[in-house]
């Protein structure tokens, strides 16, 4: 149907302007998908999975699923991981697989500096059968797909209470089946954990997402950790013209969304997370839900969560 095709085009355009590549809220608890240098930072074999339904109630709205696993070598100098993702928006979908490698370099008593690399493959598919358009030769009437290589790079530093990371994705440029060349994306993250009392900790953090062709996407985050078991907090997503100030951007809305996020450490090995996103623009009537689950495979000799505990 033409309505589905129009919706698909609008969703893709909105996603591009919001720099969602793709967007998910619970990277705060595991940043391996953003920065390959984060791989192995928890010093324990770690499995994470999440599902995100964006703008529920809109036909063809984006959905995402991801599964990742990472761990550390016996000498704590090498992080290894695998990240699988699937994204669907209307008739278009993509599946990606990245092999993550991070070299860990101790630089102080508690500080570790990491360099990361993640080569991968991305399959993009457009199912023309779902569009129902037969009179436009530029739109495929069957399934059209391609596979491209990609690579991510990153650097990451952390102590037990502080972290900062810089990374880049989509470094291998190409033309996809719609002759659109994906933009390189750059990420900067930093955060700190401080004590408010014996059972209360606070973690402010920030994420900048940049492609130098649109306003910089900024996440401002604040979380409270209760008794080292329950995270409660949220994110405010906005955009700022930090590196690119062209007249075409004057009409773009700055406020984009807020996210309310919680994560419960049910058991020392098992955690569950949930995020509720509320748009603050024309899509305010359509909400987003995200569920995550994580599991740590401790050795028998491990008696507590290994550092960094809070990132």
Q: Using CA atoms, how far apart are residues 280 and 270, in angstroms rounded to an integer? A: 33
Higher per-residue confidence, 120 vs 251: 120
Q: Which domain holds residue 272?
A: 24-297
Tell me, yes or no, whether 310 lies in a domain. Answer: no
Tell me, yes or no, whether 309 lies in a domain. Answer: no
Tell me, yes or no, whether 17 lies in a domain. Answer: no
> pLDDT per residue over 223-233, tens digit each?
999 998 999 99
Tell me, yes or no, whether 130 lies in a domain. Answer: yes
Tell me, yes or no, whether 203 lies in a domain. Answer: yes
> pLDDT per residue over 259-279, tens digit each?
999 999 998 889 999 999 998
> pLDDT per residue over 128-137, tens digit each?
666 655 555 5
* Overall domain count for the chain: 1
Tell me, yes or no, whether 189 lies in a domain. Answer: yes
Q: Using CA atoms, how far apart are residues 148 and 118, in angstroms rounded to an integer? A: 14
Whether the CB-CB separation of 234 and 204 falls below 8 Å is answered with no
Q: Return all residues near 65 (Cβ < 8 A) that are at least 6 apart.
A: 49, 50, 51, 52, 85, 86
3-class state of residue 6 by DSSP: helix
Model confidence, pTM = 0.84
Looking at residue 289, which CATH number applies to its domain? 2.40.160.60
Q: Specify the pLDDT at position 120.
A: 95
Q: Specify the pLDDT at position 175.
A: 59
Tell me, yes or no, whether 236 lies in a domain. Answer: yes
> pLDDT per residue over 40-76, tens digit each?
998 889 999 999 998 888 887 889 999 999 999 878 8
Tell me, yes or no, whether 165 lies in a domain. Answer: yes
Percent of the chain clearing pLDDT 90 (strictly above): 49
Radius of gyration of the chain (CA): 20
H or E element in which residue 11 lies? helix 2-17
Q: Using CA atoms, how far apart are residues 169 and 148, in angstroms rounded to an integer? A: 14
Q: Specify the pLDDT at position 169.
A: 92
């Amino acid at each position: 149907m033409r309505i589905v095709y129009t919706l698909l085009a609008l969703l893709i355009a909105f996603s591009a302007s919001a720099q969602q590549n793709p967007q998910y809220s619970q990277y705060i608890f595991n940043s391996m998908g953003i920065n390959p240098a984060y791989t192995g930072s928890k010093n324990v074999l770690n499995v994470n999975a999440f599902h995100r339904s964006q703008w529920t109630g809109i036909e063809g709205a984006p959905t995402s699923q991801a599964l990742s696993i990472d761990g550390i070598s016996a000498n704590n100098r090498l992080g290894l991981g695998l990240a699988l993702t699937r994204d669907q928006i209307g008739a278009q979908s993509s599946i990606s697989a990245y092999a993550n490698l991070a070299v860990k370099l101790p630089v102080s008593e508690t500080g570790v500096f990491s360099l990361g690399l993640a080569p991968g493959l991305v399959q993009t598919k457009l199912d023309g059968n779902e569009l129902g358009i037969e009179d436009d030769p530029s739109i495929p009437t069957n399934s059209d797909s391609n596979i491209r290589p990609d690579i991510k790079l990153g650097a990451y530093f952390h102590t037990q209470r502080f972290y900062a990371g810089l990374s880049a994705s989509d470094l291998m440029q190409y033309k996809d089946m719609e002759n659109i060349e994906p933009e390189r994306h750059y990420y900067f993250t930093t955060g700190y954990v401080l004590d408010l009392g014996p059972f209360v900790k606070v973690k402010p953090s920030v994420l900048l997402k940049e492609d130098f062709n649109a306003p910089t996407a900024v996440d401002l985050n604040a979380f409270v950790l209760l008794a080292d078991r329950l995270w409660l907090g949220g994110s405010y997503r906005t955009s700022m013209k930090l590196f690119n100030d062209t007249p075409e951007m004057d009409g773009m809305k700055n406020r984009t969304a807020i996210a309310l996020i919680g994560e419960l450490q049910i058991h020392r090995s098992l955690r569950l997370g949930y995020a509720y996103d509320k748009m603050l623009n024309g899509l305010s009537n359509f909400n987003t839900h995200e569920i995550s689950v994580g599991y740590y495979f401790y050795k028998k000799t491990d008696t507590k969560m290994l550092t960094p505990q809070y990132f």
